[in-house]
Amino acid sequence: MAGGAPLGLEEQAVLGAVARLPHTPLAGREGRLFCAVVPLEVEADLADLAFSAKREGEDLFLLQVVDRGLVVAGVGSALRIDGGGLERFRSCARRWEVAAAEAVVAQPPEGVEVAVPVAMGGFAFAPQGGKSVAWEGFGSGSLTVPEIAFLHLPGERPVLVLSAWVEPGERPSEAVGAVARRVARLERKGLGLLDPLPTAHPRVESALAPEHYEAAVQRATELIGAGKAKKLVIAREVLVHSPQPFAAPALFGALREGFPSCFCFCICKGQKAFIGATPELLVRREGQRLTTVALAGSTRRSADPAVDAHLGEQLLRSASHREEHGIVVERIVAALKDLALWVTAPGEPTLVKVANVQHLATPIRAQLPGPLNVIELAGHLHPTPAVGGEPKEAAYALIPQLEGFDRGWYAGTVGFATASGEGEFCVALRCALLSGGEGRCFAGNGIVRGSDPAAELAETEIKLGAILPLLVG
């Protein structure tokens, strides 16, 4: 390859993969996906490769859990599936199933078992969310099969997947070959390091006054007391204004280093980047096994082990946090009973600790009656009361009135689905939407009976500690 085999690939390996695709023009009346798969070196930094491959203004999807060895990354778009409204998950799942079933994949090398192609993307919190100017390009739901994908699923060999949408009359080998030639010219750029400004400093401000958030919490407790809801999650938005554009690659590198057990993600649409590190799994489907986690109720961490343990014990014993957590567990289990052969969840929550926050967590497992698509499963569970409320319909109606802004993809879900319908989606939390030198950070809390507005405001500051310090330097 040019540039001294920058991806650790031999040119012959790429050419050989493309050569296994048809050389004759595609017949028929409908286009379809064609893909070629190439093994990668195990030590390759797939996040670096994805950012290095990205062109100015091009789509990028990146999801990584360092501790699990999971990386799903894609650049460009061979196929995009958009959806909106209450049926957006189901409609996207159906369209993906058709596209995946009709896709033509060149015979993969021996030892490569990933079910390609892979669709990557996410969904806004609300059925019609993500349509404000701030979220331009994201929409209510969007899945993409990238032209260039770097995949490392746990237990599998890392691979490069080259994809192209081929119309009738076009030659699949030529279309995918054009993508391969682009890869051949790639050179690693590195993620870079965060570079604090030596003179000017970013400016931080609440999009709405902190008092607005406290008033929203107070109103939420009144609505709960009046029986309008059992729980409402109220979020706030904090703006960061920097004199120079934010560097998404460097920020992503810092997030995955600081939060190796979390889902670290970066989704670029045009000139915007949605980036974060969330501890919350919405759904994972492996065969007919489903895994999810109820994560609700949180407190801060301490550098002193004794204090940290004490804070965790207080969280486990907190009546309000246990009530909040119990609502989430109850809803998820009830939702899964509609789908699964059996559902199991421990009777008591445990603590999940990340760099700046510790949470109450209950892992939940289920056995599915058949291979249901993970996209549709995500829609069945989203939004859990951990990010929405209970009941769901009341939360959808009340939250926008109380918060006063479009959440977009914050508290929505991002993830991937393989051609066989397996995959995983996480809840998009501890995140920021970047546009040039502007960053929009988000944090929210679950409100139940007796929630204290000042304490809830203080807890959002703790949660903002995952992303805000990286933006302000």
pLDDT digit string (tens) for 261-298?
A: 999 999 999 999 999 999 999 999 999 999 999 998 88
Omega within 30 of 0 (cis) for the link into 383: yes
Any residues with CB less than 8 A from the CB of 152 and at least 6 apart, and which?
40, 46, 69, 70, 71, 72, 158, 159
Is 234 found in the same domain as 179?
no
The answer on pLDDT for 236 being more than 60 is yes
Residue 442's domain is classified under what CATH number? 3.60.120.10
Asked if 272 contacts 434 with a C-beta cutoff of 8 angstroms, the reply is: yes
Is 43 found in the same domain as 102?
yes
Domain edge (last residue) among 132, 155, 184: 184
Q: Which residue has the tokens 């994972």?
A: 284
Cα 121 from Cα 59, distance rounded (Å)? 10
Cα 311 from Cα 304, distance rounded (Å)? 11
Report, as an integer, the average pLDDT of 89-110: 93
Is 158 found in the same domain as 228?
no
Give the pLDDT score at 356.
85
Domain edge (last residue) among 150, 184, 218: 184
Omega within 30 of 0 (cis) for the link into 391: yes
Give the pLDDT score at 8.
54
The answer on pLDDT for 2 being more than 50 is no
Catalytic residue among 147, 237, 280, 323: 280
Is 84 found in the same domain as 130?
yes
In a domain, 446, yes or no: yes
Is 58 found in the same domain as 109?
yes
> Mind listing the pLDDT tens digit for each residue in 22-58?
999 999 999 999 999 998 877 789 999 999 999 999 9
Active site residue 231: yes
Any residues with CB less than 8 A from the CB of 238 and at least 6 apart, and which?
204, 205, 206, 207, 440, 441, 442, 443, 464, 468
Position 197 confidence tier, pLDDT thresholds 50, 70, 90: low
Catalytic residue among 147, 214, 230, 231: 231
What whole-number percentage of the chain has pLDDT above 70? 97
Give the pLDDT score at 442.
96
Cα 442 from Cα 220, distance rounded (Å)? 18
> Mind listing the pLDDT tens digit for each residue in 398-441?
999 999 999 999 999 999 999 999 999 999 999 999 999 999 99
**Closest-CA residue to 138 (of 376, 428, 383):** 428
Is the pTM here over 0.75, yes or no?
Answer: yes
Residues of the domain holding 398 = 203-250+279-472
Is 54 found in the same domain as 130?
yes
Position 186 confidence tier, pLDDT thresholds 50, 70, 90: confident
Is 138 found in the same domain as 41?
yes
Is 423 found in the same domain as 294?
yes
Is 92 found in the same domain as 229?
no
In a domain, 121, yes or no: yes
User: Between the CA of residue 300 and those of 90, 108, 309, 345, 351, what are the distances in Å?
Assistant: 37, 47, 11, 25, 12
Asked if 224 contacts 447 with a C-beta cutoff of 8 angstroms, the reply is: yes
User: Between the CA of residue 21 and those of 15, 75, 173, what are the distances in Å?
Assistant: 10, 21, 5
The answer on pLDDT for 90 being more than 90 is yes
Give the pLDDT score at 193.
87
In a domain, 191, yes or no: no
Give the pLDDT score at 39.
87
In a domain, 196, yes or no: no
In a domain, 198, yes or no: no
Query: How big is the chain by its Cα radius of gyration, in Å?
Result: 22
Q: Which residue has the tokens 């209510």?
A: 140
Count of domains for the chain:
2
Cα 34 from Cα 173, distance rounded (Å)? 9
Position 198 confidence tier, pLDDT thresholds 50, 70, 90: low
Is 316 found in the same domain as 179?
no
Active site residue 280: yes
Is 179 found in the same domain as 298?
no
Higher per-residue pLDDT: 5 or 120: 120
Domain edge (last residue) among 184, 212, 227: 184
Is 220 found in the same domain as 160?
no
Three-state SS for 66?
A: helix
The answer on pLDDT for 317 being more than 90 is yes
In a domain, 365, yes or no: yes
Cβ-based burial of 106 (10 A; exposed 0-12, middle 13-18, buried ≥19): buried
Start-end of H helices in 271-410 = 305-317, 319-337, 374-381, 392-403
Please, what is the average pLDDT of the chain?
A: 92
Q: Which contacts of 89-92 are long-range, i.e. CB under 8 A and separated by 24 or more positions? A: 89/123, 89/141, 89/375, 89/376, 89/378, 89/379, 89/380, 89/382, 90/376, 90/379, 92/141, 92/143, 92/375
In a domain, 396, yes or no: yes
In a domain, 144, yes or no: yes
